[in-house]
Amino acid sequence: MSGPKRLIKSFVYAFRGLNKTFREEQNLQIQLVVGIIIIIIAFVLGIKPIEWCLIIFAVFLVILL
């Protein structure tokens, strides 16, 4: 197997892993909820584009680490 089929299969496995992790890891669930709340607050406050970039970067960095 090569090419696009292999790539698609890799993405399927990756998304299955993310789904399993989200269902089983309470800390990830908490981090995602807090991240969504922060993004909603930022939207309500009408922040600048550079601030959006920084907030999104910080949220993903926390989840990544």
Integer Cα distance of 61 and 57 in angstroms: 6
pTM over 0.85: no
Are 29 and 22 spatial neighbours (Cβ–Cβ below 8 Å)?
yes
**CA angle centred on 62, ends 58 and 30, rounded to 5°:** 115
Q: Which pLDDT belongs to residue 1?
A: 59
pLDDT of 11-28, one tens digit each?
Answer: 999 999 989 988 999 999
Integer Cα distance of 39 and 15 in angstroms: 23
- Classify the C-alpha dihedral 47-48-50-52 as positive or negative: positive
pLDDT of 29-51, one tens digit each?
Answer: 999 999 999 999 999 999 999 99
